[in-house]
Structure 1
C-alpha cells in the first residue's frame, strides 16, 4: 500500500537540523509517520497518495516541542503555597499529595497533557514519585491518559524511601521501602517500555531527589536501569538548601554525590541544576549528563538562575521542562522558550546568554537529546518521525515581527493551527482532536475539589 502523504507548504520552516537550516517559504512532506522531505518552495506536484495539502501561508513550521520534566499529578494542586521556597513548598504540599488516587491522577494527567499538546508539545515525560498504598495503579493512569491524547511519552517510575524519620524531607507515610520501589520500577519497565524506533512509550527509572531517597536506592536504581537498558532521571542541584543538605548528610555536594552513586552518564538527565559550579558543569559535560531546564518553576520557587550558557559551552545536553504545575501554573512549554531566553539574560552573560534560535533548539532538539531520542525527533529531517507544529504568526500578536523564529520565541504565545504526532493530527485550529477539552477541564476541576476535601478532612 502506498504511503499516505500530508503536504505542508508556503510556510516558513525552522528545521533545527545540525546546520540550523531555515526556509523563508518552503514545504514539508509527511509520508505515513515519517518526514519524507523538506525544502524551499512548493512541494513537487507529482506526489502520489496525497491525502491532505495544508497552505501554511503566514505560518512557521518547527519540530514538535519536547518537554523533559513534569509532575502531572500536580495539576490538581495549582495555586497553593504561592510564596514559598522549594523546601517549604514541599512540606506544605506533601500531605495533600499523599491523598491522591488513580482517578485523580488520570484526571490530572489529562489536564496536564491537554494543556501541553494544545501548545505544541509532541513528546513529554512525567516524573511520578508519590505512591500511597491501596489507591490503584497510578502509573497506568498516566500511561492511559497519554495514549488517549496521542502524545509520545516517557513515563518515569519515581520513588522515595527516605522519610522524615530517616533524615529525609517527605513525611514517613509518603515513602516506600527500597525493595518495593525497585520491584515496582522493574515491573513498570517490563510492562510498558517499548525501545523500538518510533515508540510512543518509554519508561525510565527516577528516584526523586537526594533529600528523599536513600543512597542504596540511588545505586540500585542505576544498576537496574542499566541492566534493563532504560534511562535515569532525578532532581539535582535545585536549591542552596539541597546543596547544604547533601554536604551535611553525605559530606559532598550534589554532583559529587551523584557521581559516587553512578548517576552521571549519557543515559542520565537531571531536572533543574540551578546551583552548579565550574567543576559540576565540567563533570556533566565530560559525562554527557543531560539537564532539564525549568526557568518558570525555578523563578516561582525562587531557586535561582541555572547557568545554561555555560552548560551549552561545556557540551551538556540541555532541554526545557514545564515542571509540575504546582510550581508553574501555566502548564505550557512554549512559554518556556521565551522565559529561558529572558531569565538567562539576567545572568552574567546578559544579552549574549541565549538567542531566539538557541531557545527554540532547547525546546526541540535539546529535549530530544536529553530523552535519548535525537535520532528520531527534535528536528525536521528526512527519515525522522513526523512530529511537527504549524504556528500561526500572521495574527495581531505576531504579524509585525519579520523574523518568524523571533515572533515565536519573543512574541505572545502563538496559536497552533496544526500539530502532528507520528503523522497524526492532534491539534487543529487551536483545539485538540483526540479528547473533549471541556470534559478534561471538568474532570480535573472535580478531582481537584475532591482532593482538597479529603486533605481537609485529614
Structure 2
C-alpha cells in the first residue's frame, strides 16, 4: 500500500541532536518503506490511503532495547526487594513456565508495548525449564501474531546455586547445552535483511548466573555467526561487590577481560560504571539499555546516560521485565528517563527531545539497526507512530514533543510496522485485547499454583 499521512507535526529524529521537525508536514509510505517526508502537503500522486493527521504528532516507532516478556505472568511479586532478593523469590516461580504460559505472557507484553508506541522490542529470555517445551519459539510466535519486530536474545544460565550462582540448579543448563540451544536459535530464526521482523542475539544472563567459559564461548559463537551480544551488567552495588570478591575487578573490567566490549554488544542497565568504564564503553562503541522505571522499582541507582552518550556509547531505553516494571509500556519510559536524569544532575541535564532520541534512534543504534529504523527518513522502514495531541490531556501545550514526553501518554491514531497497521484509533488490529487479558490472567494463576 501507498499511505500518505498529512497535516501532522513531525519529529523525524534524523540528526545527532533533535533532528528535523515539521509543524504541518507529510510522510509518504510506499510498501514497507518511507518514500518521502517534508513540510506541507505531499506532492500529487496515487495513494491507497490518506490519513488526515491534523492535531497529531508523527514520530518514529519506539525501540525497546531490553525486556523479559515471560515475566508478564509474574507482575506484583517482590514489591520491596533489592535485585538479588527479587531474583531469589522469582526464580522458583519462573521454574514453572512452559510454552503456553510464555506465549500468553509474550502476547500480552508485546500488545502493551505496541499500545505505547513500540514497533521493535528486544526480549531477553534465559529461563528454560526442562519440561517447559519450546518457550523461545513461543515468544517468536507471539511477536509474529502481534506484528512487531523482535530482537530475541537467546539467554542462558549455567551457574546454579551449587556453583555459587543465584538460580536454582533445576533451571540452569549445561554450558554445552546452552551453546547448542543458542546456535540452534540463530540458525532457525535470525534474519539479517533490512526489513527483518526477527533477529537473534546471543545473551548469557549475567556474571552472577553464568560461568566464565559460557561468557567467552558465547562471544565466540556470536561473532562466528555475525549476531549481536547482550547481557545484564553493572546493575547493582551487590553485583559489583560480588564481582570484586570473586574476580578482583569490577563488572565492566570483567566484561572487558572476557571479550565482551565492542560495537556488537549492548548491556542491560549499566548503572554502576566508573569514569574509566564509561570512557572504555564509549571507545569500543558498546551500547547500554537504560531501564529507568525498573531501576527505580528495585532502587538500583541512576545510570550515567548523559556521560555514556557523550563518550560515544549507544544508549536506548528498555522496559525490562514486567515483574520489575508492572506498567510494561515504553511510552512512559521517555519521561522517566528525563526525570531520573534531572533528579540526579539537575533540570539542564536532559530535555524532552533527549527522551525521544533515546526511545528511537538511540535504541536503533543499540540494536545495530540505525540504518533501517529509529528515524523518519526516505528509504528506512515505515515504522511510525501517529499520536493524537488534540485531547484535553494536551490542550494548550504548544510544543508537540513536550506534550508527548511530559504529558500523559497520548492515544495512538495509528501505529505502522513496516507499513502495516498494528494499532488504529488506539485499538489493536492484530490481537483481541480482551482475549489476551483472559489468557494472561489464566497463565498467571496457573503459574502461581505450580509453586
| 2:384 aligned partner | 388
Residue 352 (structure 1) shift: 1.8
Pairing partner for 1:412 from 408, 416, 425: 408
In structure 1, C-alpha distance between the alignment counterparts of 2:335 and 2:55, rounded to whole Å: 21
Residues 1:252 and 2:244 are matched in the alignment? no
In structure 1, C-alpha distance between the alignment counterparts of 2:9 and 2:409, rounded to whole Å: 17
In structure 2, C-alpha distance between the alignment counterparts of 1:41 and 1:345, rounded to whole Å: 36
| 2:425 aligned partner | 429
In structure 2, C-alpha distance between the alignment counterparts of 1:394 and 1:284, rounded to whole Å: 42
Q: SS of the counterpart of 2:105? A: helix
Residue 119 (structure 1) shift: 1.1
Pairing partner for 1:165 from 155, 162, 165: 162
Residues 1:216 and 2:213 are matched in the alignment? yes
Residue 297 (structure 1) shift: 0.1
In structure 1, C-alpha distance between the alignment counterparts of 2:184 and 2:97, rounded to whole Å: 21
| 1:115 aligned partner | 112
| 1:351 aligned partner | 347
Segments ≥4 residues shifted beyond 2 Å: none
In structure 2, C-alpha distance between the alignment counterparts of 1:377 and 1:107, rounded to whole Å: 27
Equivalent residue pairs, number: 449
In structure 2, C-alpha distance between the alignment counterparts of 1:84 and 1:188, rounded to whole Å: 33
In structure 1, C-alpha distance between the alignment counterparts of 2:101 and 2:242, rounded to whole Å: 32
Pairing partner for 2:361 from 351, 358, 365: 365
| 2:84 aligned partner | 87
| 1:25 aligned partner | 24
In structure 2, C-alpha distance between the alignment counterparts of 1:172 and 1:247, rounded to whole Å: 24
Kindly report the root-mean-square deviation, in angstroms, between the aligned alpha carbons of the 2 structures. Answer: 0.7
Alignment of 1:69-218 (within 5 A): 69-218=66-215
In structure 1, C-alpha distance between the alignment counterparts of 2:168 and 2:131, rounded to whole Å: 18
In structure 1, C-alpha distance between the alignment counterparts of 2:336 and 2:289, rounded to whole Å: 14
Residue 135 (structure 1) shift: 1.5
Q: SS of the counterpart of 1:274? A: coil
| 1:438 aligned partner | 434
Residue 118 (structure 1) shift: 1.1
| 2:9 aligned partner | 12
Q: SS of the counterpart of 2:35? A: strand
| 2:447 aligned partner | 451
Residues 1:40 and 2:39 are matched in the alignment? yes
Q: SS of the counterpart of 2:397? A: coil
Unaligned 5+ runs, structure 1: none
Residue 90 (structure 1) shift: 0.4
In structure 2, C-alpha distance between the alignment counterparts of 1:354 and 1:362, rounded to whole Å: 11
Residue 89 (structure 1) shift: 0.4
Give CA deviations for 1:9-61 in whole Å, capped at 9, x if unaligned. 0000000001600001100000000000000001112x12x110000100000
In structure 1, C-alpha distance between the alignment counterparts of 2:247 and 2:168, rounded to whole Å: 21
Give CA deviations for 1:347-390 in whole Å, capped at 9, x if unaligned. 1x311211111110000000000001000000000000000000
| 1:285 aligned partner | 282
TM-score by length of 1: 0.97
In structure 2, C-alpha distance between the alignment counterparts of 1:352 and 1:332, rounded to whole Å: 26
| 1:239 aligned partner | 236
Pairing partner for 1:339 from 328, 336, 339: 336
TM-score by length of 2: 0.99
In structure 2, C-alpha distance between the alignment counterparts of 1:230 and 1:352, rounded to whole Å: 37
In structure 1, C-alpha distance between the alignment counterparts of 2:387 and 2:261, rounded to whole Å: 37
Residues 1:55 and 2:52 are matched in the alignment? yes
